[in-house]
Chain A
Amino acid sequence: MNLRRDVFQAIADPTRRTILTLVATQAMTAGAIAANFDTARPTVSKHLQILTECELLQQQQNGREMYYHLNAAKMKEIADFIEPFRQMWDDRFNKLESIMKAYQANQ
């Protein structure tokens, strides 16, 4: 399976959103994360893999254990994802406004 991984696809899944919420406060091992779900461990692992591929989660080796923690920078990107779109419309509407003001002045 070679699905295109993007952050929006990643956060579309409720389990993955829960995982992000869990690790938001502290780094956790895969086992500790899986303990919060009724689903099978491999299913949780798959979710962790997707979140890691999209850089929403980062892995950190601590002794023999692998910990997952939240990549705050990537999360901020999601929060800001509307901003470039908004900016584009703002620029366009500013132009509309100035063109129409000039048009009004010429009438």
Chain B
Amino acid sequence: MDRKTQVSAGDGHQDIRITREFDLPRPLLFKAYTEPDLVAQWMGTRVLKLESKPHGSWQFQTVDAQGNVVFQASGVIHTFIPDRQIIRTFEIENAPFGVQLEFLNFEALTDTTSKLTMQIVYKSAELRNKMLQMPFSHGLNMAHNRLQQLVGKGC
């Protein structure tokens, strides 16, 4: 079984590197990150704001069936080079992970395939490990209290 998505997290480091090859031309892969409607579809969240430009900001929000906000994340876009690179911050509000810095690089492999390399830098190696232990926390459909419950759990 091939692993299209690869994750590497060096021992004692405070970052994670995620790589993925897509059967999509690079401009189309890039578009998935810049068109609010498309982002909303694959991320499974509402896109309240997405200013795809240098110094732009973004905000995502997920509500449950009763209309309660269960997830809210936001950040700013530092660098925006169409079809090539996005550097942005990402922070889940009301969660104990702090802000993270994300470097997204988009490469063309062929005319119809592309590769995304995403480096996520956390404030500390400890926070990074916490994040790795709780894959759901980066997911967008998780209630805050459940998150707290998991974070509070020891070994």
A residues whose Cβ falls under 8 Å from a Cβ of B: 4-10, 12, 53-55, 81-82, 84-90, 92-97, 99-101, 103-104
Contacts and interface: CB of A to CB of B under 8 A. Distances in A.
Contact of B32 (A84, A88, A99): A99
A103 B135 contact: no
Given A53-B155, A93-B5, A100 B24 contact: yes
A85 B5 contact: no
Contacts of B125: 12
B139 A81 contact: no
Interface in B1-59: 3-9, 12, 16, 18, 20, 22-24, 28-29, 31-32, 38, 41-44
Given A53-B155, A88-B136, A96-B32, A82 B38 contact: no
A7 B155 CA distance: 6
B154 A82 contact: no
A10 B126 CA distance: 12
B132 interface: yes
A99 B41 contact: yes
B148 interface: no
A90 B133 contact: no
A87 B28 CA distance: 23
A90 B5 contact: yes
Contacts of B131: 85
A13 to B, nearest CB: 11
A103 B114 CA distance: 16
A81 B16 CA distance: 13
B123 interface: no
A106 B12 CA distance: 46
A5 to B, nearest CB: 5
B114 to A, nearest CB: 10
B154 A6 contact: yes
B20 A93 contact: yes
B18 A97 contact: no
B92 to A, nearest CB: 14
A87 B154 contact: no
A103 B28 contact: yes
B138 interface: yes
B119 to A, nearest CB: 13
6 contacts: A7-B155, A84-B135, A85-B135, A93-B22, A96-B32, A99-B32
Contacts of B100: none
